[in-house]
């Protein structure tokens, strides 16, 4: 039987503002009702039983906050799944790295949410046209990556607005990253780490062959990026928005969708802005 927890002492939960222009200002939100979204992997089964004995699990619609138990990948899919409810998300890391998450502790969850800081982030939106003339749209919180689909390298033209970024890039692909995602795949392919309040997006080549030394570009977050496959038949490419893949891409437009605001809650020692700054320092040292 699920145990109901008395939360009458939490009349209002002040959520401090993170030091970012993407963060909401200080506000008062009543966060008494929790919905737990738990990744169904083996190592979480015992924790799920313990947590659901200690805390009541409300339905998503009637909840005030969604607590996500898992890793970054599960957090990304949960954010998209429950986007329409406009709830704040508090992540507890049970994955490998957990960049988007807080350190896992199953005690005093109400107290942690009470003291949490709120950061809001907007995702990328991609509109893809395929070889078969289908139009597919999706959002990406971290990044959009265009990747070669065969043994042949990709041949791509990249522009933003009316300006040409590169006429012909021969590479394994290209990656467009938000500041929140700049420490993930983007960092692995030697892209720049962007501050959360930078209002920038990173365009980073993946194993460029020609021009070999092209490092990519940092663009304004208001940019409309268009990528065209210059040789659809011989050099097919696929595109991935976080965990959504589309194959045989003809072209894609990528922008920041400012109409969507994901609300992420962080402990004071785990705020996303601090994590990004720490990664920037590590990169400078290395």
The verdict on whether 72 is a catalytic residue reads yes
- Note whether 15 and 265 are within 8 A (CB): yes
Task: Please pick, among 72, 143, 172, 242, the residue that the annotation labels catalytic.
Answer: 72
- Note whether 243 and 142 are within 8 A (CB): no
91 bridge partner residues: 68
Closest CA to 44 of 95, 87, 6, 91: 95
- Which helix or strand (DSSP H or E) is residue 109 part of? helix 109-115
- Note whether 264 and 273 are within 8 A (CB): no
* Number of continuous H segments (helices) and E segments (strands) in the chain: 5, 19
Instruction: Determine the Cα–Cα distance for residues 27 and 88; give it in Å rounded to an integer.
Output: 13
- φ, ψ of residue 194 to 5 degrees: the values are -100, 135
Indicate the DSSP class of residue 49: H
List residues with catalytic annotation.
Answer: 72
């Amino acid at each position: 039987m699920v145990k109901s927890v008395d939360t009458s002492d939490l009349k209002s939960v002040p959520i401090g503002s993170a030091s970012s222009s993407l963060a909401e200002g200080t506000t008062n939100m009543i966060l008494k009702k929790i919905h737990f979204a738990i990744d169904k992997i083996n190592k979480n089964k015992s924790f799920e039983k313990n947590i659901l004995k200690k805390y009541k699990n409300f339905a998503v619609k009637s909840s005030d906050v969604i607590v996500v138990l898992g890793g970054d990948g599960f957090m990304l899919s949960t954010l998209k799944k429950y986007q329409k409810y406009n709830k704040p998300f508090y992540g507890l890391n049970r994955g490998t790295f957990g960049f988007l998450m807080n350190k896992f502790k199953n005690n005093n969850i109400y107290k942690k949410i009470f003291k949490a800081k709120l950061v809001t982030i907007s995702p990328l939106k991609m509109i893809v046209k395929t070889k078969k003339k289908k139009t597919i749209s999706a959002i990406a919180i971290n990044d959009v990556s265009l990747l070669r689909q065969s043994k042949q390298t990709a041949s791509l033209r990249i522009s933003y607005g009316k300006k040409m970024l590169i006429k012909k890039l021969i590479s394994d692909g290209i990656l467009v990253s938000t500041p929140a995602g700049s420490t993930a795949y983007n960092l692995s392919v030697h892209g720049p780490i962007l501050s959360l309040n930078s209002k920038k997006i990173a365009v980073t080549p993946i194993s460029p062959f020609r021009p070999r030394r092209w490092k990519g570009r940092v663009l304004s977050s208001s940019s409309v990026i268009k990528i065209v496959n210059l040789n659809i038949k011989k050099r097919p490419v696929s595109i991935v928005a976080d965990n959504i893949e589309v194959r045989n891409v003809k072209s894609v437009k990528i922008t920041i969708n400012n109409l969507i605001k994901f609300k992420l809650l962080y402990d004071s020692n785990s705020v996303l802005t601090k994590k990004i700054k720490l990664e920037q320092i590590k990169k400078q040292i290395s």
